[in-house]
């Protein structure tokens, strides 16, 4: 077995749409047109406004893709990329030959394969991989439309209550991180959390939120409780 075969097998196991590509071609291109990247939590992988240097395929870990406000003070998470998924910001940048319109940061220890731009264009010429890429585009567009709807039309207390659910009884995070994820500022999140705590829905600690009354939080999230 050549040194490149284990990597090719791992890549194909994560991205089955690549199985249709000829083995010999993939082996040669992996050696000449790709670069492996190991990232620690918090490492910046690409920057908003900069050229896209390649197309990332995530083999291990998790990448957060976000946008920053004009003053750079606030950020909003758009989506996350895990093994077997793709970054539509990178894809759109390469396909349109434009600079990136978001930034990518490693959430956990991550391992990525970075395809050279010309290799990405060649692989998208293959029907299976092209269908996979544009299928993810469709899914991400739906997610972003839902995010826009939530930001534009839903009350922040409902969005925060919904966000606190589904993580078990304990959620380890900061008020600042919650604000970034919800597209608002820390002070508003802190004020709402204090109201939730005063109502007995949650208990607040240092970088820790305990859900005490999930039923009431669900009622807030669905709009049944509007006292806030």
Question: For residue range 121-166, what is the model confidence (pLDDT) as tens digits?
Answer: 999 988 999 999 999 888 888 877 766 666 665 688 888 998 898 7
Q: 140 to each of 101, 136, 157, 168, how far by Cα in Å?
A: 15, 6, 25, 26
SS3 at position 63 = strand
pLDDT digits (tens, 9 = 90+) for 6-42: 888 888 899 999 888 888 878 888 888 889 999 999 9
Tokens, residue 195: 């109201």
Kindly report the backbone phi and psi dihedral angles of residue 81, in degrees, each rounded to the nearest multiple of 5, phi listed first.
Answer: -115, 125
pLDDT at 226: 63
Rounded mean pLDDT of the chain?
87
pLDDT at 140: 81
Does residue 227 carry a pLDDT above 70? no
Q: Domains in the chain and their CATH numbers?
A: 5-151 (2.60.120.10), 155-222 (1.10.10.10)
In the block, tokens 């991550």 appear at 110
pLDDT at 37: 95
pLDDT at 155: 82
% residues pLDDT > 90 (the chain): 52
The answer for 55, left when phi > 0, alpha when psi is -120 to 50, beta otherwise, is beta
């Amino acid at each position: 077995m050549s040194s490149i075969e284990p990597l090719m097998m791992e890549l194909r196991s994560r991205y089955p749409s690549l199985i249709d590509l000829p083995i010999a071609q993939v082996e040669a291109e992996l050696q000449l047109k790709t670069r492996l990247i190991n990232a620690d939590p918090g490492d910046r992988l690409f920057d908003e406004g900069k050229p896209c240097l390649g197309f990332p395929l995530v083999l291990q870990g998790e990448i957060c893709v976000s946008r920053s406000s004009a003053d750079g003070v606030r950020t909003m998470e758009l989506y996350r990329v895990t093994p077997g998924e793709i970054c539509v910001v990178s894809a759109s940048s390469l396909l349109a030959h434009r600079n990136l319109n978001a930034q990518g940061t490693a959430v956990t220890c991550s391992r990525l394969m970075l395809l050279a731009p010309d290799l990405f264009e060649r692989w998208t010429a293959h029907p299976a991989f092209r269908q996979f890429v544009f299928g993810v585009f469709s899914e991400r567009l739906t997610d972003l439309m839902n995010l826009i709807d939530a930001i534009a039309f839903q009350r922040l207390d409902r969005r925060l209550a919904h966000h606190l659910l589904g993580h078990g009884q304990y959620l380890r995070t900061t008020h600042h991180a919650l604000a970034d994820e919800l597209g608002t500022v820390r002070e508003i999140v802190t004020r709402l959390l204090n109201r939730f705590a005063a109502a007995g829905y949650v208990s607040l600690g240092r970088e820790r939120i305990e859900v005490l009354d999930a039923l009431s939080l669900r009622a807030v999230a669905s709009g049944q409780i509007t006292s806030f």
